[in-house]
Structure 1
Amino acid sequence: MMKVSFMVTTCVLLFYTCRAQNPKSQFVWGINGHPLTQKDYSNNLDDQIAALKDLNVSSYRFDVILTKDGYAKNQPAFIKLLQALRQNNILPFAAVMQTGIGGMPPDSVYQIAFSQGKNFGVAYGDYFTVLEVNNEVDNKIRVRNVPAGVRPDAEYDIEKSKRFMAQISGFIDGVKTVKPSIMISLSVSFTHFYYLELLKENKVNYDIIGCHWYSNMGDMLAQKLPIANVLSYIQGHFNKPIWITEFNRFKGTGAVSFALQSQYITDNIPKLISQKNIGAFFVYELFDEQSLSAKFPLEANYGIMYKDASGNYVKKDSFYGYKRLIYK
């Protein structure tokens, strides 16, 4: 931390840095990207940083694949990203993807995951105030084609869930032995709330519920009973801070015009924030991923920016719409 030598300068600097470094104290605005894992985010870190600064977001959420020992697979690129974000006062929010645990019983999974978390905390913990462990595990343990995700019977693979509980819990416990101040977010999509019940039953030591919501899921504030208002339901049943860590029009501009994507974002974010029980908001995502168009066309056009035929990054209507909300 800074020394108190020049009081005015110190106060100004603290005011400037607390926006990114203390997500507990004030609202966190963010965006998702894939700077370490996807082709459309390769060799353009400067463009990403410039866009993040232009948006005025305080955090960047991204996925990082780990080795079986808990270190980043592409460590030089990971460190470069973390340093660039720190230099630009942007909070890194990594969703860590574990490897090397498949096919083992839960007790063994926990021990390996604990070592992974501890190694990660030692190697990179100083960069983070918040982390996510895995991503949308609710979708990984649900039975296919059963969308609601509220009831345990016939909706979840309980045996598979035991391994995931051990995997997540082990990593969290390992990280927190090294960096107990790091907050852990776990994501849940749609109304898959039995997953949150499983976390509670297994005493998983996490801090934030990260909700993922897209337009095809309906109105977040007007679902079927008994859930109705999703935010109020989560708050009342699970008593943890709520962040919205993915949000957009379904299929992005692959399904609708630039204007309609922007309208969905700008109409709904104020309504959700007005509920006064959200601590952060992250739109998905920064850049279109045209390299996915052939294999995964639904994933290709979620960006609020795209690259034109000349290779220049162009802002969609949603970039400007989201930016206006952030500046309020």
Structure 2
Amino acid sequence: MLKGCSTFLSVALLCFVCTIAKAQNTDKSFVWGINGHPLTQRDYSNNWDEQISALNDLKLNSYRLDVLLDPDGYAKKEQSFIKILNDLKKNNIAALPAVMQSGLNNADTDSIYQKGYKQGMNFGTRYGDYLSVVEVNNEGDNKIRLRNKPGRIKDGEYDTVKAKKFIAGIKGFIDGLKAAKPNVKVSLSVSFTHFYYLQLLKDNQVNYDIIGYHWYSNMGDIINVKPAFGNVLSYISKRFNKTIWITEFNYFKGTTSANFATQSDYITQTIKKILDQGIIKGFFIYELFDQTYLKTRYPFEACYGLIYKDSMGRYIKKDAYESYKQIVGK
């Protein structure tokens, strides 16, 4: 067990989260979700039944997972992917695959668009009947933003050559996907205050539907970002006129050094602030399980989960699990 962990939530905190749930969770179309890695990470590789059980216990209606694609746009672990899609459907949980394109390097922009289009067409034709929303890549802002640049509103903070190619691949995939399955919506994710990435998508007429916003505690107060933006949810809603989901959210570094109560308190109090704005239509915690196998190489990414595994191999729920369950609960 992590140092300083708290085993039980206080009565006051339980009352607080119950109040949030009653006040906020009245819209039945609201998407409540969580992130996981059943196709890509070792800590998710042999516990699918436990993942499904937790998703149902939390009463979530969406599961965001990363899916690696081959150069033709098909899932690399296709049999496992299709099983996941079927199992989620049986449990009335929507899959939100964040698909990772491949095979687009060393080509000109037009060729990248055409390859991306073929990938999207193939992906939509093969899997589209299972899906209502697809995310294309993840945090494109951080892939094309120049290092140590804020990426807010200036063109010069991005690698323009890389950006053109990256956006061509995304745009091609989306156009191909929507040609195959016009009713499937597309989410594109962005983190922190990297607003110029959204402007680049707009300038290049990328046909997506949902901004998947990523926010962690180290980024500050999401409704009072200084010096210039204030409520960033309101800012991007008015400027880009898209549906907004928060598709990654947690206390920074999870419980790597913070105790369980600190993580839980941050999640509970900040969700209330966010929902009170009446702007977002979906909310996803990052993530379901701790990833102990990341501790050596990426130690600060290992303890974001709402569930951890103890020394006996048992899955133990953190305080934040119970808080989130109360917030989501009908």
* Residue type of the alignment partner of 2:72: D
CA deviation after TM superposition for structure 1 residue 299, in Å = 0.6
Matching of residue 113 in structure 1 with residue 116 in structure 2 = yes
Aligned match of 1:126: 129
Asked if the contact 2:155–2:196 (Cα under 8 Å) also holds between the matched residues in 1, the reply is no
Tell me, yes or no, if structure 1 residue 57 matches structure 2 residue 60: yes
Match among 29, 42, 46 for residue 39 of structure 1:
42
- Alignment partner, residue 66 of structure 1: 69
Partner of residue 273, structure 2: 271
C-alpha contact (below 8 Å) 2:145/2:158 kept by paired residues? yes
Q: Is the 8 A contact 2:100 2:137 kept in 1?
A: yes
CA deviation map 1:121-169 (0-9, x unaligned): 01000000001000000000011112x2113343110110000110100
Could you tell me which residue of structure 1 aligns to residue 92 of structure 2? 89
1:169 aligns with 171
- Taking the aligned partners of 2:236 and 2:153, their CA distance within structure 1 comes to 15
Q: Could you say what the CA RMSD is over the residues aligned between the two structures, in angstroms?
A: 1.1
Partner of 1:259: 261
Letter in 2 for 1:173: D
Q: Distance in 2 between matches of 1:197 and 1:275?
A: 23
SS of 1:56's partner is: coil
Structure with the bigger RCO (C-alpha within 8 Å, sep 6+) is 2
1:301 aligns with 2:303: yes
Q: Which amino acid aligns with 1:124?
A: Y
1:105 deviates by 1.0
Q: Deviation string for 1:244-265 (max 9, x for gaps)?
A: 0000000000020011000000
Identical-pair percentage: 59
Q: State the distance in 2 between where 1:32 and 1:153 align.
A: 31
- Tell me by how many angstroms 1:236 deviates: 1.0
* 1:103 Cα deviation from its structure 2 partner: 1.8
Query: How far off its partner does 1:311 sit?
Result: 1.2
Aligned to 2:13: none
CA distance in 1, matches of 2:76, 2:38: 13
Gapped regions of structure 1 (runs ≥ 5): 1-23
For residue 218 of structure 2, what is the aligned residue in structure 1?
A: 216
Unpaired segments ≥5 residues, structure 2: 1-26
After superposition, what is the alpha-carbon deviation per residue over 1:197-236, rounded to whole angstroms, capped at 9, x for unaligned? 0000000000000100000000000012431100010011
Q: Which residue of 2 aligns with 1:10?
A: none
- Counterpart selection for 1:234 from 236, 245, 259: 236
Q: Across the two proteins, how many residue pairs are aligned to each other?
A: 304
- Indicate the SS of the match to 1:197: helix
* Distance in structure 2 (CA, Å) of the matches to 1:109 and 1:49: 37
Following TM superposition, the consecutive aligned residue runs of length 4 or more in structure 1 with deviations greater than 6 angstroms are none
Structure-1 separation of matches of 2:177 and 2:319: 40
Q: Secondary structure at the match of 1:111?
A: helix
Tell me what 2:287 maps to: 285
Residue of structure 1 equivalent to 2:32: 29
TM-score, normalising length: structure 2: 0.91
